[in-house]
Amino acid sequence: MNSQKILALNGLSKTFGSVIANHNVSLDLYRGEVLALLGENGAGKTTLMNMIFGHYMPDSGSVDIEDTSGAFVPLSLGHPQAAIAAGIGMVHQHFTLAENLDALDNIMLGAERLNRLRRNKAAARGKVKDIMKESGLSAPLTVPVGQLTVGERQRVEILKALYRDVKILVLDEPTAVLTPQEADTLFGNIGKMTKNGLSVIFISHKLREVLAFSHRIAVLRHGAKVGEIATSQADERKIARMMVGSETEEHTRKLMPPGKPILCFEKVSVSGRSRRESLECIDLAVNECEILGIAGVSGNGQTALAGLISGMLRPNTGNIFVDGVAVKDVRPSVMVDAGVGRIPEDRHRDGIVGTMSVAENMIIECLDDQAVQRRGLLKWDTIQAQAEKMTVKYDVRGPGIEAPAQLLSGGNIQKLILARVFEAKPKLILANQPTRGLDMGAAADVAKRLLEARARGAGVVLISEDLDEILSLSDRIMVMNDGELTLAKTRDRAELGLLMAGDAE
């Protein structure tokens, strides 16, 4: 790393209505450097990056960037086109992919001129293949993106940015959906590319990778920069304190004897559109007072398993028992009535109705309940009082209970879903990637709530790609690979990793 400055943010501020997203943030980036941007949900990290990339116009402040001749020039703000031309690439947290196009078309989008009658897909494919080899990221190029898994889509997003020959790469939570091994590979390759002059800013909540792969750490809190530290001088406690202003506590998992089985799968098969959406002859049992962790890389059948437990998919053959009773007609409402609480993988799409208010989203699963309605008329006073109470109890922060739920940040949307699910006191909880993309505070909150539910006697199915999370929370661990479930006899990280890759023995 040399110390040549190539990007400077000068006092950027941005407000949305009455919410201050960023206040007077100044930050420098040097050539060949990996800068980690840390902060809790809603601290303003994504807003800051969106201003660099031209999605948002800052209220005040400016950005200077080194141009091709080495001179420092102001970047024209508010235009992604200008940012791309200046050599800035951005990988967005929420995918910016056209699902009806294949990955190659998505990658080429905007990189080719629109007034040409012919396209050179062969050349583009060659270049993408080279980037794949170099970065270690691969994704199917010819399948419509809509059929790819979340993990694969994320990889396409990164490839899309790399394809534009960037000199500054902004990554908004790039590894949230990657396995630890894939994340390590990605950062290893990013390390290689930084040696050739690439500078990287990445947002992450995983302290382990921040400490392992960044050169410098900048911390945001409540929209303002509260500190910068060289990674060599940082440790987990130090940066955690900077982020939240106090130290976080570790949760402890008390040993509990498991109770009677609460969810049983008996030789359940389901066939989806592709092999990755199919399960064959799955046996599974979850007991009361037990957390069953399902480890594995996404796209190995987790979606189908979650679909079955939540009632979104019907099994082709086999039986599902909830609390000892066979569920004949597998439907979402039947599963909810049987006592299943669901925390979906894609919380924006499946967890909330974005245009409805926070209060409405709180009660959306219990509309039949006499507590919220009488003869079909909603009791607004009760609902609002309840919502106020829940937002305090579960620490849902945002513009208020009347605001549309889509205005909340990712972590607060998850807290809203937790409030809805846990208040119904379900017997079984399906938690599908519950901490993906959450900061430490919010992730710890999810873990605490899951352990509370377990202490209350509920069974929990925890599907996660985060092996650390699985190891710290689960009583038993099963590994999912290529549509098959294997009970892990070990808690060793390396051996579990091999099982996840399908290389057992």
Residues lying near another protein in the complex (CB under 8 A) are found at 50, 53, 55-57, 78-81, 83-85, 90, 92, 94-101, 105-106, 108-119, 160
- Of the pair 14, 225, the CB lying nearest another protein is at 14
For the bound state, the minimum distance from the C-beta of residue 13 to another protein, rounded and expressed in Å, comes to 15
For the bound state, the minimum distance from the C-beta of residue 62 to another protein, rounded and expressed in Å, comes to 18
Instruction: Return d(Cα 374, Cα 306) in angstroms, integer.
Output: 33
377 Cβ contact partners less than 8 Å away, ≥ 6 residues apart: none
For the bound state, the minimum distance from the C-beta of residue 82 to another protein, rounded and expressed in Å, comes to 8
3-state secondary structure of 302: helix
- Of the pair 103, 183, the CB lying nearest another protein is at 103
3-state secondary structure of 210: helix
β-sheet bridge partners, residue 480 = 485
For the bound state, the minimum distance from the C-beta of residue 255 to another protein, rounded and expressed in Å, comes to 45
Residue 67: other Cβ atoms inside 10 A:
14
- Of the pair 120, 316, the CB lying nearest another protein is at 120
Instruction: Return d(Cα 369, Cα 366) in angstroms, integer.
Output: 5
**CA distances for 226 relative to 47, 53, 423, 443, 470, angstroms:** 16, 22, 36, 22, 32
The radius of gyration of the chain's CA atoms, rounded to the nearest angstrom, is 23
Host H or E run for residue 362:
helix 358-363
- Of the pair 79, 127, the CB lying nearest another protein is at 79
- Of the pair 328, 349, the CB lying nearest another protein is at 349
CA torsion 407→302→171→34, rounded to 10°? Answer: 130
For the bound state, the minimum distance from the C-beta of residue 22 to another protein, rounded and expressed in Å, comes to 14
- Of the pair 85, 504, the CB lying nearest another protein is at 85
389, 478, 473: which is closest to 435 by C-alpha? 473
Joined tokens for residue 479: 């590994």
For the bound state, the minimum distance from the C-beta of residue 436 to another protein, rounded and expressed in Å, comes to 19
- Of the pair 127, 241, the CB lying nearest another protein is at 127
Residue 324: other Cβ atoms inside 10 A:
10
Host H or E run for residue 133:
helix 121-135
Instruction: Return d(Cα 504, Cα 380) in angstroms, integer.
Output: 56
Residue with tokens 């099994």: 315
Give the ranges where 378-476 is alpha helix by DSSP (H): 380-393, 410-423, 440-456, 467-473
- Of the pair 38, 86, the CB lying nearest another protein is at 86
For the bound state, the minimum distance from the C-beta of residue 66 to another protein, rounded and expressed in Å, comes to 19
| 3-state helix, strand and coil shares in percent for the chain, rounded to the nearest 5 | 35, 25, 40
- Of the pair 86, 193, the CB lying nearest another protein is at 86
Strand pairing class (340-343; 373-374): unpaired
For the bound state, the minimum distance from the C-beta of residue 274 to another protein, rounded and expressed in Å, comes to 18
3-state secondary structure of 341: strand
For the bound state, the minimum distance from the C-beta of residue 109 to another protein, rounded and expressed in Å, comes to 5
For the bound state, the minimum distance from the C-beta of residue 178 to another protein, rounded and expressed in Å, comes to 20
Q: Classify residue 375 as exposed, middle or buried by CB count within 10 Å of its CB (0-12, 13-18, 19+).
A: exposed
Distance linking the first and last C-alpha atoms of the chain: 42
- Of the pair 109, 366, the CB lying nearest another protein is at 109
Joined tokens for residue 298: 């996404």
For the bound state, the minimum distance from the C-beta of residue 330 to another protein, rounded and expressed in Å, comes to 23
- Of the pair 85, 326, the CB lying nearest another protein is at 85
- Of the pair 117, 377, the CB lying nearest another protein is at 117
For the bound state, the minimum distance from the C-beta of residue 375 to another protein, rounded and expressed in Å, comes to 34
